[in-house]
Amino acid sequence: MNIQPKWEALGNSVRGVSHIASNKPNQDAIQIDATSSIALVAVSDGHGSQKYFRSERGSAIAVKVAQSFLQQCVSSLEKATVKDMSFMTTVLGKKLCQRWVDEVNTDIEQHPFSDLEKETLEYYGIALEEGFVVYGATLLAALVTNEYALFFQLGDGDIVFVSETGVVDRVFSAEDSLITNETHSLSEPEAWRYGRVSLRLWESEVPSLIMLSTDGYSNSFSSDEGFEQVGSDMISLIKDKGVAYVKENLKGWLKEASKIGSGDDVTVGILSRTK
Amino acid sequence: MEKNNSFRPGGDMASRPLHFIYIADCSGSMGMDGKIQAVNEAIRESIPHIKEAANDNPQAEVLIRAITFSSEARWHIGEPTPVEDFTWKDISADGWTSMGAALSLVAQQLKMPPMSNRALPPVLVLISDGQPTDDFEQGLQELFAQPWGVKAVRLAIPIGEDHNMEVLRRFINNPEIQPIFAKNAEQLKAQIKFFSTSVLKSVASSPSMQQGDKGSNVIMPDNALILSQQNTTSVGDVW
What ipTM did this prediction achieve?
0.90
- Contact status of B236 with chain A (Cβ, < 8 Å): no
Neighbours of B178 (CB within 10 A): 15
Identify the three-state secondary structure at position A153. strand
- Contact status of A149 with chain B (Cβ, < 8 Å): no
- Contact status of A230 with chain B (Cβ, < 8 Å): yes
Whether residue B118 lies inside any domain: the answer is: yes
Whether residue B76 lies inside any domain: the answer is: yes
Q: How far apart (Å, rounded) are the C-alpha atoms in residues B53 and B204?
A: 9
CA distance B173 to chain A (A): 17
Looking at chain B, which residue has its C-alpha nearest residue A45?
Answer: B208
pTM tops 0.90, yes or no: no
Asked if B208's CB is within 8 angstroms of A183's CB, the reply is yes
Query: How deeply is B49 buried, as exposed, middle or buried, from its count of CB atoms within 10 A (0-12, 13-18, 19+)?
Result: middle
Q: In chain B, how many domains are there?
A: 1
Query: How deeply is A32 buried, as exposed, middle or buried, from its count of CB atoms within 10 A (0-12, 13-18, 19+)?
Result: buried
Identify the three-state secondary structure at position A163. coil
Q: In chain A, how many domains are there?
A: 1
Whether residue B6 lies inside any domain: the answer is: no
Whether residue A161 lies inside any domain: the answer is: yes
Asked if B13's CB is within 8 angstroms of A181's CB, the reply is no
Asked if B207's CB is within 8 angstroms of A177's CB, the reply is no
- Contact status of A251 with chain B (Cβ, < 8 Å): yes
Whether residue A2 lies inside any domain: the answer is: no
B81 contacts B65 by C-beta, under 8 angstroms? yes
Asked if A252's CB is within 8 angstroms of B208's CB, the reply is no
Q: In which domain, by residue range, is B201 found?
A: 16-206+221-237
Whether residue A167 lies inside any domain: the answer is: yes
Whether residue A143 lies inside any domain: the answer is: yes
Please name which of A138, A19, A52, A224 lies closest in space to residue B59, comparing C-alpha atoms. Answer: A19
Whether residue B231 lies inside any domain: the answer is: yes
Chain B residues touching A50 at Cβ < 8 A: 219
Whether residue B135 lies inside any domain: the answer is: yes
pLDDT in tens, A75-129: 777 777 878 878 887 888 999 999 999 999 999 999 999 999 999 999 999 999 9
- What pLDDT, on a 0 to 100 scale, did the predictor assign at position A54? 97
Chain A residues touching B117 at Cβ < 8 A: 174, 176, 178-179
Looking at chain B, which residue has its C-alpha nearest residue A244?
Answer: B1
Q: In which domain, by residue range, is A140 found?
A: 7-273
pLDDT in tens, B69-107: 999 999 999 999 999 999 999 999 999 999 999 999 999
pLDDT in tens, B27-54: 999 999 999 999 999 999 999 999 999 9
Residue B105 is part of a domain; what is its CATH number? 3.40.50.410
Residue A114 is part of a domain; what is its CATH number? 3.60.40.10
Asked if B121's CB is within 8 angstroms of A180's CB, the reply is yes
Whether residue B157 lies inside any domain: the answer is: yes
**Amino acid type, A118:** K
Looking at chain B, which residue has its C-alpha nearest residue A19?
Answer: B205
- What pLDDT, on a 0 to 100 scale, did the predictor assign at position B163? 86
Whether residue A1 lies inside any domain: the answer is: no
Whether residue A265 lies inside any domain: the answer is: yes
**In A124-181, which residue ranges form alpha helices assigned H by DSSP?**
none
Average pLDDT on B57-65 reads 93
**Amino acid type, B159:** I
Whether residue B1 lies inside any domain: the answer is: no
Looking at chain B, which residue has its C-alpha nearest residue A126?
Answer: B213
pLDDT band at B235 (very low <50, low <70, confident <90, very high): very low
Whether residue B21 lies inside any domain: the answer is: yes
Q: In what helix (H) or strand (E) does residue A196 lie, and over which residues does it extend? A: strand A196-201
Phi, psi of B31 (to 5 degrees): -80, -10
